Amino acid sequence: MAKHNAIIGKLTRKGVFGIDMDKNNYTIQTGTNDKMYFFTSVGRHGNISKAVVFAQTDVDYYEIILGDYDALNKHLDTHTISNNGDIALVLITVAQIMALFFQKYPQAHLVIEANTPLKHRLYKRIIDNNLAYIETKYAVWGVLDMITQEPYQKEGEYRAFVFELKP
């Protein structure tokens, strides 16, 4: 697995939930293909292996899937909430992984759809709190239903979010 230690981009200095987001991310490892990335969350519950998978859903569309990874059984658990006390660092790492993915697939559209209402509110809050910075690099869309999306608006009610590189 190749290791990536470079910081490609950072979220705002204000951060999420008052946490300084101007920190390094966790060390990222790529899997055997360029659509799977691994890192280890370090926190109050110890070391938890995490994986980010980019699952192609359509031409140039990829769903981002984050979960706890069991390497022995090669299983990705997307339902467990680890509560390891390092959410800001985990999300910074996911943002760095997105940037790595965009380097390889600049035409990609990355779809984030939470599997619980709690995660959905968390993702929306993070996008809202960091929108000015995010929009310097990415176009962000809010998905209204299966076929309709609009430019992201903080007051919007969306079922998913789509990121694409700005030209």
* pLDDT score, position 3: 38
- For the chain, the structural domain boundaries read 3-165
Contact criterion met (CB below 8 Å) for 163 and 64: no
* pLDDT score, position 23: 60
Integer Cα distance of 108 and 150 in angstroms: 17
The two structure tokens encoding residue 79: 């339902």
Integer Cα distance of 126 and 18 in angstroms: 11
Compute CA 68 distance to the chain's CA centroid, rounded to the nearest angstrom.
14
* pLDDT higher than 50, residue 32: yes
Q: Give me the long-range contacts of 33-36 (CB less than 8 A, separation at least 24).
A: 34/101, 34/104, 35/62, 35/101
Integer Cα distance of 25 and 136 in angstroms: 20
Convert the pLDDT of each residue in 81-91 to its tens digit. 888 999 889 98
What integer is the mean pLDDT of 121-138?
92
* pLDDT score, position 2: 41
Average pLDDT, the chain: 86
What integer is the mean pLDDT of 17-34?
73
Residues ≥6 apart with Cβ < 8 Å to 1? 29, 30, 31, 38
* pLDDT score, position 45: 94
Higher pLDDT, 12 or 165: 165
